[in-house]
Chain A
Amino acid sequence: MNGMNRRGIVAVLLVAATAAAACSRGDSSRVLIQNKGSDTLVNLAQAWAEHYRTVKPGVAIAVSGGGSGTGIAALINGTVDIANASREMHAEEKEQVRAHNGKDAIEHRVARDAIVVYISKSNPIAKINVADLACIYAEDGTCQSWTALGVEVPGCADQKIIRVSRQSNSGTYEFFRDAVLGKGRDFKLGSRDMQGSKDVVDLVAKTPCAIGYSGMGYVTADVKVLCLAKDASSPCVAPTPESAKSGEYPLSRWLYMLTLGEPQGDVKGYLDWILSPAGQQIVVQSGFVPVN
């Protein structure tokens, strides 16, 4: 169905296979940490899990995606040890965690990300501002064609803007909605809602009329990244590790891992390692920005 779940399943299988191997060696002290959620984080979480096997062979981490909403729902139901989220938790989600588990959810910042806006390579536009993005994506927005933004896109029928977005449980979807459209505003219906960030990149790469967004870790050379300005009078900022870190890039955000209460034992060991220089090195390799 989508790249995410497939990757998630592969990750689970891999971890299960290692787990089975560990068992057959008679290692009875093996611990399994369940880790689920954000699609933006899933590749990074998987890279961490794989490296951690060499750091601590007795601990296996099962990673799956599904979206930030899915991860938080699993945390509420108490079925995961660590939930991944690419947005902050809502107040009602925090309440539900407390009501169901008697513990508070603790948010750990594990990486920094920028939401990158991109278009097809044939599109001549080079920069855009947040107000224009809202004009394209918002319910009451009026920007329907590339001509309205002052460009002519070769190979694009009727110059119609094809909005590519994400399914509604995505943390990226919610972050983009709140940050670009403003709180309380909705997306205009009729956008192509993809199941994963990778699907957005793939579709935009093949569609001259398209515009899409996702976390910076997913961007490939097949799409053209836009330089983004806060408003019409500000200079535009390219999404780079530096501009994401400083917050100068308008759509930068934290990526979180969530636990029930303060982490203990092996979960704490894993989170500490993630925040250590070795763990943060993998953040850089995955195309995101380290915490410090």
Chain B
Amino acid sequence: MGNDREHAGAPRDLGRSRAAVAAERVIEALIRICGFSAIFFVFSIFLFVALSGSDFIVNRLDLHEFLLSPEWVPTSVSNKRYGTLALTIGTFSVTGLAMLIAVPFGLGSAIFVSEFTGGKVKEVLKVVIELLAAIPSVVWGFVGLVIMNPLIIAVFDAPIGLNVLNGGILLGLMSVPIIVSIGEDAIKAVPDSYREASMAMGATRWQTVVHVLLPAARSGLLAAVLLGVGRAIGETIAVLMATGHAVQIPHSPLDSVRTLTATIASELGETSRGSDHYQALFTIGILLFALTFVVNLSADLIVRGVRGEQR
């Protein structure tokens, strides 16, 4: 690759100073380092997390208990238990509900912004949606605690308003802007010739969107949804405040839960370095890593499948 560039650039080098050529080389090298740095960072973070929990993982981790027991009691005097099932289900229940809300809203407004509106309305909408993305998550958490909690108690006659529903709505709203901006880019990227051809065939605007644009932008839209999922799984403070922070397997959206991320955030500061509890929290970090990896990988495979189908 590098050689191609040099050959391609060689004729242009004529008449340029040595310094300019050298500067270009340096810049090229820097850009290359930037490109590879992502790989370096991912691996070193993974290594750090794995090493921090290694002693516990190797010597005392009961994998069966860790993955399948819902009992997380790390500070018990008599019987410490490190089961993360309830936390994993907590994370997925909140994320799942968030996506139920964010995907239709996000894709819907992406389609609207890209195809059904223009001019001032479009500009205003885009700016406002970006503003929505800029709201700090602690503010969302505050909204969940102060506004949504009493509202959910009143509307759903629930015993408590800090629950999966509350966290799911907040995370959904937090994911919408990401899905909108990336989804809109994906739809916009479909060549105009597709639209023109469809219109020429007598299709309405809506028919064009459903039968032409959405299938053509499928992989981009999926990427948009996945980034939304990533945002939801990784979110910490808002869910810590809004879900009730209770270790239990939820039976309905009105039950309180606790997520993997919130557990790490609330407990890591307290543990003494190197203790079992400390290392168990890092093991949760590895679990989170693995879960997001599986989500990303399966999404990637789906996108490839979709592309293959289209060919």
Contact = CB atoms under 8 A, between A and B. Distances in A.
Contact of B162 (A66, A96, A160, A203): A203
A189 B248 contact: yes
Interface in B75-110: 75-79, 86
Contacts, number: 94
Given A167-B266, A189-B72, A195-B266, A207 B160 contact: yes
B159 to A, nearest CB: 4
A166 to B, nearest CB: 10
A186 B267 contact: no
A77 to B, nearest CB: 8
B70 A158 contact: no
B269 A157 contact: no
A1 interface: yes
A192 B158 CA distance: 15
Interface centre among B160, B237, B256, B272 (most CB of A within 10 A): B160
A158 B159 contact: yes
B53 interface: no
Interface in B172-199: none
A39 to B, nearest CB: 11
B138 interface: yes
Given A96-B272, A207-B161, A184 B247 contact: no
Contacts of A203: 149, 162
Contacts of A207: 149, 153, 159-161
B159 A209 contact: yes
Interface stretch (A50-58, A67-75, A281-289): A67-75
Contacts of B159: 156-158, 160, 162, 207, 209
A167 B77 contact: no
Nearest to B72: A189
Interface stretch (B22-30, B55-63, B206-214, B238-246): B238-246
Contacts of B258: 193
A190 B246 contact: yes
B74 interface: yes
Contact of B269 (A169, A184, A193): A169
Contact of A168 (B150, B157, B265, B270): B270
B124 interface: no
Contact of B240 (A1, A158, A191, A208): A1
A157 B158 contact: yes
A22 interface: no
A70 B266 CA distance: 12
Contacts of B76: 186
A263 B159 CA distance: 49
**Which of B71, B145, B266 gathers the greatest number of chain A CB atoms within 10 Å?**
B266
A192 B73 contact: no
Given A1-B240, A157-B157, A207-B153, A168 B74 contact: yes
B158 A189 contact: no
A183 interface: yes
13 contacts: A66-B269, A66-B270, A67-B269, A96-B272, A157-B158, A167-B267, A168-B74, A168-B75, A169-B75, A169-B267, A189-B70, A207-B159, A209-B160
Interface of B: 70-79, 86, 138, 141, 145, 149-150, 153, 157-162, 237, 240-241, 244-248, 256, 258, 265-267, 269-273
In the complex, the 9 A-B pairs of residues with the closest C-beta atoms, listed nearest first? A169-B270, A190-B248, A184-B78, A168-B75, A209-B159, A189-B247, A69-B270, A160-B159, A192-B244
Given A194-B245, A210-B160, 4 more contacts: A1-B265, A67-B270, A167-B245, A186-B73
